[in-house]
Amino acid sequence: MPKQNAYRFYILRVFVLTLLSLSLIAGVNAGIDPYEALGTIQIRGVNNVKSEKNLQVRLFKTLAINRLQVQSVFLGSSRTEFGLDSHHPALKNQQPGYNLAISGGNMYEVRRYFDHVMATQPDVKKIVLGIDFFMFNQFQQVTPDFNENRLEVRRIIFKDFFDILFSKSSLIASVRTVRSSRREPDSIGSFYPDGRINPDFYIAKAYQNQPTKARFSQVLQDFMTRDDLYGNYQLSRDYLEDLKAVITTSQAREIQLTIFISPSHAMQWEAIRVSGLWSQFEQWKREIVQFAPIWDFSGYNSITTEPLTDSMVYYIESSHYRKEVGDLILNRILNYNLDVVYLEGVPPDFGVLLTPNNLEDHLAQIRQDRAVWVKNNPEWVEFVEGLKPE
């Protein structure tokens, strides 16, 4: 065979093998659909346990809500993502609902997902927005899986489609999805269908079922060392304006918007104090309450001071609360059966509607509540202080 023909045959063979390899990869990724982005049929024991969706939260949630016509939406960080159930009975007349909160999102990202809802969900009537101090840190930048181009449209963009089919990360996620589906075919996976994180799956996957104290230690140390959390905090004027834009747009569109500050555990607030940010934490509240009334569930109340044990009812670790707390939040802010719920143990000190008129008294009350908690729990104060790096 002449050299020129041999060379051409070699190139053709490489091309064919490459094409076959890419086709195989695309076929596997499309058939498994690890991020539940393509709507592939789920088969028990094959691809029904989506264990890798947490790697592409912003992608799969954008496409998931695009397949719905929602009337109620939750927005915020992973705290909202863990705790708020869109099927809460107070929202029975505003279904379907979806938890569109995004892990690690700053206020700009949350605003852009609000914009996505405004552009693609004409039936939305109610939005509940959970906000957190760290979301307004100037050093909290957008995450790598955030993509502006996929927002405000109801179709999958080419880049996402290409990456899902052909990327190495998708192939790895597909393999892991098959393994998870075969190992635990009846598991819920990383997320519930309405976008809420499955806490038990998360504890097993992210923390390898570590004891509660170890989880608290890991999260608190992470917050106090990372520059984008408490390690180097600067209140962002731009992120404050993003919150203001959400409020003004909701008012203009006559959408019921309710905003609340998340009820992380008391030791999370101690981490803010140990990081030297308490005055900025209070100033943040002064800034945001100028825009609209905001429910505050932070501080040292009957829920957030739950004793740290391995059988905690309310908390996964210091940052994230469970559905049991989320239900209490929704009871309070949506005025659901409050008289009945109080009889069943919902504390009257859980949740204060902040306005400029009562803010300073509220901040003073939190300081007083902290003094009582510190007196009764010196060992946990020392625990948090011991986690701060030298």
**Contact call for residues 218 and 207 (beta carbons, < 8 A):** yes
**Contact call for residues 333 and 258 (beta carbons, < 8 A):** yes
Which pLDDT belongs to residue 342? Answer: 42
Position 46 pLDDT exceeds 60: yes
Q: Which residues face 128 on adjacent strands?
A: 74, 258
Helices (H), the chain: 3-32, 57-66, 78-83, 107-120, 158-166, 168-183, 199-206, 212-225, 237-253, 266-274, 278-288, 323-333, 338-343, 359-376, 378-385
Position 45 pLDDT exceeds 50: yes
Q: How many CB atoms lie within 10 A of CB 198?
A: 18
| Torsion angle (degrees, nearest 10) of CA 377, 378, 379, 384 | 100
Rounded distance between C-alpha atoms, residue 120 and residue 56, angstroms = 20
The Cα diameter of the chain in Å comes to: 91
Position 307 pLDDT exceeds 90: yes
Confidence of residue 336 (pLDDT cuts 50, 70, 90): confident
DSSP 191: B
- 285 contacts: CB under 8 Å, gap ≥ 6: 261, 294, 296, 354, 359, 363
C-alpha 99 chain-centroid distance: 9
Q: Which residues face 371 on adjacent strands?
A: none
Query: Tell me: the pLDDT tens digits for 47-80?
Result: 999 999 988 999 999 999 999 999 999 999 999 9
pLDDT, mean of residues 167-186:
92
Confidence of residue 301 (pLDDT cuts 50, 70, 90): very high
CA–CA–CA angle 328, 250, 149 (5° rounding): 100
Which pLDDT belongs to residue 345? Answer: 56
- 36 contacts: CB under 8 Å, gap ≥ 6: 50, 53, 60, 63, 64
Position 1 pLDDT exceeds 60: no
Lowest mean pLDDT among 3-12, 285-294, 322-331: 3-12
Q: Which residues face 40 on adjacent strands?
A: none
**Contact call for residues 74 and 128 (beta carbons, < 8 A):** yes
Tell me the Ramachandran region of residue 104: left when phi exceeds 0, alpha when psi lies from -120 to 50, beta otherwise: left
Which pLDDT belongs to residue 3? Answer: 59
Lowest mean pLDDT among 90-104, 197-211, 266-280: 197-211
Alpha-carbon Rg for the chain in angstroms: 23
pLDDT, mean of residues 88-104:
95
Q: How many CB atoms lie within 10 A of CB 69?
A: 12
**At 327, which amino acid appears?**
D
**At 135, which amino acid appears?**
M
Position 26 pLDDT exceeds 50: yes
Rounded distance between C-alpha atoms, residue 256 and residue 264, angstroms = 25
pLDDT, mean of residues 12-26:
76
Position 187 pLDDT exceeds 90: no
Query: Tell me: the pLDDT tens digits for 97-155?
Result: 999 999 999 999 999 999 999 999 999 999 999 999 999 999 999 988 999 999 999 99
Topology annotation, domain 71-160+194-385: Rossmann fold (3.40.50)
Place of tokens 């499309």: 30
Which pLDDT belongs to residue 339? Answer: 56
Q: How many CB atoms lie within 10 A of CB 326?
A: 25
Query: Tell me: the pLDDT tens digits for 217-261?
Result: 999 999 999 999 999 999 999 999 999 999 999 999 999 999 999
Rounded distance between C-alpha atoms, residue 7 and residue 116, angstroms = 52
C-alpha 265 chain-centroid distance: 16
Q: Which residues face 235 on adjacent strands?
A: 137
Please give the full DSSP string across 23-87, using - where no structure is assigned.
HHHHHHHHHH-TTS-S-PPP-TTTT---TTGGGGHHHHHHHHHHT---SEEEESSHHHHHH--TT
- Please provide residue 260's backbone torsions phi and psi, each rounded to the nearest 5 degrees: -140, 155
Which pLDDT belongs to residue 343? Answer: 38
| Torsion angle (degrees, nearest 10) of CA 363, 364, 366, 369 | 180
Position 10 pLDDT exceeds 70: no
Rounded distance between C-alpha atoms, residue 304 and residue 315, angstroms = 9
pTM confidence score: 0.92
